[in-house]
Structure 1
Amino acid sequence: MEFNETMKINLEFDKEKEVREIVAKVYEALKIKGYDPISQIVGYILSGDPTYITSYNGARGLIVKIERDELLEEFAKTYIKTL
Protein backbone atom coordinates (compact mmCIF):
# COMPACT_ATOMS: atom_id res chain seq x y z
CA MET A 1 0.00 0.00 0.00
CA GLU A 2 1.21 3.44 -0.89
CA PHE A 3 1.45 6.16 1.76
CA ASN A 4 -0.84 8.42 -0.28
CA GLU A 5 -3.66 5.81 -0.53
CA THR A 6 -6.68 6.04 1.71
CA MET A 7 -7.56 3.06 3.88
CA LYS A 8 -11.16 1.92 3.71
CA ILE A 9 -12.72 0.47 6.84
CA ASN A 10 -15.57 -1.99 6.50
CA LEU A 11 -17.64 -1.22 9.59
CA GLU A 12 -20.40 -3.63 8.55
CA PHE A 13 -17.95 -6.54 8.59
CA ASP A 14 -16.54 -5.42 11.94
CA LYS A 15 -20.03 -5.24 13.45
CA GLU A 16 -20.96 -8.64 12.03
CA LYS A 17 -17.78 -10.13 13.50
CA GLU A 18 -18.48 -8.55 16.89
CA VAL A 19 -22.05 -9.90 16.91
CA ARG A 20 -20.87 -13.39 15.96
CA GLU A 21 -18.24 -13.40 18.72
CA ILE A 22 -20.69 -12.20 21.36
CA VAL A 23 -23.41 -14.65 20.34
CA ALA A 24 -20.88 -17.51 20.41
CA LYS A 25 -19.79 -16.58 23.94
CA VAL A 26 -23.37 -16.17 25.15
CA TYR A 27 -24.40 -19.46 23.52
CA GLU A 28 -21.52 -21.30 25.19
CA ALA A 29 -22.24 -19.77 28.62
CA LEU A 30 -25.92 -20.77 28.39
CA LYS A 31 -24.96 -24.27 27.30
CA ILE A 32 -22.46 -24.69 30.14
CA LYS A 33 -25.08 -23.60 32.68
CA GLY A 34 -27.53 -26.18 31.34
CA TYR A 35 -29.96 -23.89 29.51
CA ASP A 36 -31.32 -24.35 26.00
CA PRO A 37 -29.33 -21.53 24.34
CA ILE A 38 -31.71 -21.05 21.41
CA SER A 39 -34.80 -20.73 23.61
CA GLN A 40 -33.05 -18.35 25.99
CA ILE A 41 -31.72 -16.11 23.21
CA VAL A 42 -35.14 -16.05 21.51
CA GLY A 43 -36.73 -15.17 24.85
CA TYR A 44 -34.31 -12.29 25.25
CA ILE A 45 -34.88 -10.99 21.73
CA LEU A 46 -38.67 -11.14 22.04
CA SER A 47 -38.93 -9.67 25.52
CA GLY A 48 -35.87 -7.47 25.86
CA ASP A 49 -35.40 -8.94 29.34
CA PRO A 50 -31.69 -9.64 29.86
CA THR A 51 -32.44 -12.11 32.66
CA TYR A 52 -33.06 -14.71 29.94
CA ILE A 53 -29.26 -14.67 29.58
CA THR A 54 -27.05 -16.05 32.31
CA SER A 55 -24.56 -13.74 33.96
CA TYR A 56 -22.02 -16.59 33.87
CA ASN A 57 -18.76 -15.49 32.19
CA GLY A 58 -20.23 -12.02 31.65
CA ALA A 59 -22.70 -13.28 29.03
CA ARG A 60 -25.52 -10.94 30.11
CA GLY A 61 -23.22 -7.93 29.96
CA LEU A 62 -22.09 -8.93 26.48
CA ILE A 63 -25.53 -9.50 24.98
CA VAL A 64 -26.83 -6.09 26.03
CA LYS A 65 -24.02 -4.45 24.06
CA ILE A 66 -25.89 -5.39 20.89
CA GLU A 67 -29.27 -3.95 20.00
CA ARG A 68 -31.91 -6.65 19.61
CA ASP A 69 -32.73 -5.50 16.08
CA GLU A 70 -29.06 -5.90 15.18
CA LEU A 71 -29.15 -9.46 16.52
CA LEU A 72 -32.21 -10.23 14.42
CA GLU A 73 -30.62 -8.68 11.35
CA GLU A 74 -27.47 -10.78 11.71
CA PHE A 75 -29.49 -13.95 12.33
CA ALA A 76 -31.60 -13.27 9.24
CA LYS A 77 -28.52 -12.58 7.09
CA THR A 78 -26.88 -15.78 8.27
CA TYR A 79 -30.01 -17.82 7.68
CA ILE A 80 -30.58 -16.41 4.21
CA LYS A 81 -26.98 -17.16 3.23
CA THR A 82 -27.70 -20.86 3.91
CA LEU A 83 -30.61 -21.00 1.45
Structure 2
Amino acid sequence: MRQEPTRAFSIRDEKEYQIRQVLTEVYEALNEKGYNPVNQIVGYILSEDPTYITTYNNARSLIRKIDRDELLQTLVRSYLNAK
Protein backbone atom coordinates (compact mmCIF):
# COMPACT_ATOMS: atom_id res chain seq x y z
CA MET A 1 0.00 0.00 0.00
CA ARG A 2 1.44 3.30 -1.10
CA GLN A 3 1.29 6.15 1.39
CA GLU A 4 0.56 9.67 0.33
CA PRO A 5 3.07 12.26 1.48
CA THR A 6 2.09 14.22 4.53
CA ARG A 7 0.68 17.62 3.71
CA ALA A 8 1.10 20.60 5.96
CA PHE A 9 -2.21 22.07 7.00
CA SER A 10 -2.32 25.68 8.02
CA ILE A 11 -5.27 26.87 10.02
CA ARG A 12 -4.42 30.43 9.02
CA ASP A 13 -4.60 29.50 5.32
CA GLU A 14 -7.99 27.84 5.83
CA LYS A 15 -9.29 30.84 7.78
CA GLU A 16 -8.06 33.25 5.11
CA TYR A 17 -9.74 31.15 2.44
CA GLN A 18 -13.05 31.31 4.35
CA ILE A 19 -12.71 35.07 4.80
CA ARG A 20 -12.01 35.52 1.08
CA GLN A 21 -15.07 33.45 0.22
CA VAL A 22 -17.34 35.45 2.51
CA LEU A 23 -15.92 38.78 1.38
CA THR A 24 -16.41 37.81 -2.26
CA GLU A 25 -20.03 36.81 -1.65
CA VAL A 26 -20.71 40.01 0.30
CA TYR A 27 -19.05 42.10 -2.42
CA GLU A 28 -21.17 40.46 -5.11
CA ALA A 29 -24.40 40.91 -3.12
CA LEU A 30 -23.67 44.60 -2.57
CA ASN A 31 -22.79 45.07 -6.23
CA GLU A 32 -25.95 43.31 -7.41
CA LYS A 33 -28.06 45.60 -5.22
CA GLY A 34 -26.40 48.67 -6.76
CA TYR A 35 -24.24 49.70 -3.80
CA ASN A 36 -20.57 50.65 -3.95
CA PRO A 37 -19.21 47.45 -2.36
CA VAL A 38 -15.85 48.89 -1.29
CA ASN A 39 -17.44 51.88 0.47
CA GLN A 40 -20.02 49.69 2.20
CA ILE A 41 -17.46 47.14 3.39
CA VAL A 42 -15.14 49.89 4.66
CA GLY A 43 -18.06 51.48 6.48
CA TYR A 44 -18.83 48.15 8.12
CA ILE A 45 -15.22 47.54 9.12
CA LEU A 46 -14.80 51.01 10.61
CA SER A 47 -18.08 51.11 12.50
CA GLU A 48 -18.97 47.42 12.89
CA ASP A 49 -22.50 48.54 12.03
CA PRO A 50 -24.08 45.64 10.12
CA THR A 51 -26.55 47.91 8.34
CA TYR A 52 -23.74 48.83 5.91
CA ILE A 53 -24.16 45.32 4.50
CA THR A 54 -27.29 44.29 2.64
CA THR A 55 -29.36 41.31 3.77
CA TYR A 56 -29.61 40.27 0.11
CA ASN A 57 -28.23 36.74 -0.41
CA ASN A 58 -27.61 36.49 3.34
CA ALA A 59 -24.60 38.84 3.04
CA ARG A 60 -25.11 40.49 6.42
CA SER A 61 -25.23 37.18 8.26
CA LEU A 62 -22.16 35.96 6.43
CA ILE A 63 -19.97 38.95 7.23
CA ARG A 64 -21.01 38.92 10.89
CA LYS A 65 -19.56 35.40 11.22
CA ILE A 66 -16.08 36.82 10.59
CA ASP A 67 -14.12 38.44 13.38
CA ARG A 68 -13.43 42.01 12.34
CA ASP A 69 -9.78 41.85 13.49
CA GLU A 70 -9.21 38.70 11.42
CA LEU A 71 -10.85 40.39 8.45
CA LEU A 72 -8.52 43.38 8.74
CA GLN A 73 -5.45 41.18 9.17
CA THR A 74 -6.37 39.18 6.09
CA LEU A 75 -6.95 42.31 4.03
CA VAL A 76 -3.64 43.88 5.08
CA ARG A 77 -1.72 40.62 4.56
CA SER A 78 -3.27 40.19 1.12
CA TYR A 79 -2.47 43.77 0.13
CA LEU A 80 1.15 43.51 1.26
CA ASN A 81 1.67 40.11 -0.37
CA ALA A 82 0.42 41.50 -3.67
CA LYS A 83 3.22 44.07 -3.77
Partner of 2:28: 28
Matched to 2:68, the amino acid is R
Q: Cα RMSD over matched residues?
A: 1.7
Summarize the alignment of residues 1-80 of structure 1 with structure 2, pairs less than 5 Å apart: 2=3, 8-80=8-80
Matched to 1:68, the amino acid is R
Q: Percent identity?
A: 51
TM norm structure 2: 0.89
Structure 1 gaps of 5+ residues are: none
- Counting matched residue pairs gives 82
CA distance in 1, matches of 2:7, 2:26: 33
Q: CA 1:76–1:56 in 2, change beyond 3 Å: closer, same or farther?
A: same
Structure 2 gaps of 5+ residues are: none
Residue 9 of structure 1 deviates from its aligned partner by 3.1
TM norm structure 1: 0.89
